[in-house]
Amino acid sequence: MIWRKNGAPKCPRCGGKMTAFTEAENVDGVKRVRYVLRCKSCGYRNVLQDITLRKSPQGVSVSIMRHRF
């Protein structure tokens, strides 16, 4: 991933500007949050980080998975 001088990442496919956003979903008591970069021009997506939260009788389990870009 190439970063522009103004700090915005550059798309590896088309060279367009990528924007950052989050996705969240809750399935069967497990919440998953993803931090994603997406190109406005071609739709290319790159997941930066996945965070998974699981509730159990002992407490809350947090799992963080970082992706290389």
Q: How confident is the model at residue 42 (pLDDT cuts 50, 70, 90)?
A: very high
Q: What is the pLDDT of residue 23?
A: 92
Is residue 44 within 8 A of residue 11, CB to CB? The reply is yes
What's the pTM value of the predicted model, to 2 decimals?
0.70
Residue 5 has pLDDT above 70, yes or no: no
Question: Can you give the C-alpha Rg of the chain in angstroms?
Answer: 15
Phi/psi class of residue 34: alpha, beta or left (left: φ > 0; alpha: ψ in -120 to 50)? Answer: beta
The rounded distance, in Å, linking the Cα atoms of 11 and 4 is 10
Q: Which residues contact 58 (CB under 8 A, 6 or more apart)?
A: none
